[in-house]
Amino acid sequence: MKARIGAHELLYGAILAALAILIPTAFGGWLQVYIPPFSATLGSHVPTMLAMFISPRVAALVGIGSSLGFWFTLGPVVAARAAVHILIGIIGGLLVRAGYSNRGALILTALPHAVGEAVVVTLFGFDLYTALVVVGIGTLLHHTVDSVIALAAAGSLAKAGVKLNRLVV
């Protein structure tokens, strides 16, 4: 039987994609650290991380939204870094689907997330120090902070009766 996107999954994906676009555009000025090519907008990974808990497809959709949000606000280099969220979201979604906890999926995607964003900036001509130390370590720290926020949000949503995990029919 072919898996299909359920109505709840589509709804949550659309809301999270909208948040992924909104966070960098609305909060970029005051929740953001910007040391080119690195930027960290507090909470910007949270929609993608929550989407991982739903499904790999929703996480990919939200990763696209994240990339668009950063394209609008900070341009192509940061948007290309944010495009890494598509792949990281898919990996995290597959980990959750395979039975890993939400926390486990976030821990396991931290290093690939940091390395992915570091590799992307080297494609734009940045040196290895900037790529690995500024972007790589910065992304690792940012991923960690946003993971704590995402887990807290998921816990709050669960208490409110919203079940994010395994929505695929």
Show me where the domains of the chain are located.
Answer: 7-159
Q: What is the pLDDT of residue 1?
A: 41
Dist CA 40 CA 24 (whole Å): 9
Q: Do 9 and 167 contact (CB within 8 A), yes or no?
A: yes
Q: What is the pLDDT of residue 80?
A: 96
E-strand ranges in the chain read 32-35, 38-41
Question: At residue 4, what are phi and psi to the nearest 5 degrees?
Answer: -130, 160
Dist CA 169 CA 163 (whole Å): 14
What CATH number was assigned to the domain covering residues 7-159? 1.10.1760.20
Q: What is the pLDDT of residue 2?
A: 53
Q: What is the pLDDT of residue 42?
A: 92
Question: At residue 152, what are phi and psi to the nearest 5 degrees?
Answer: -65, -45
Q: Do 58 and 16 contact (CB within 8 A), yes or no?
A: yes
Q: What is the pLDDT of residue 169?
A: 31
Residues β-bridged to residue 35 = 38
Spans of the chain, pLDDT less than 50: 1, 167-169
- The two tokens of residue 159 are 């208490």
Helix axes 102-123, 138-159, angle to 10 degrees: 150
Q: What is the pLDDT of residue 3?
A: 59
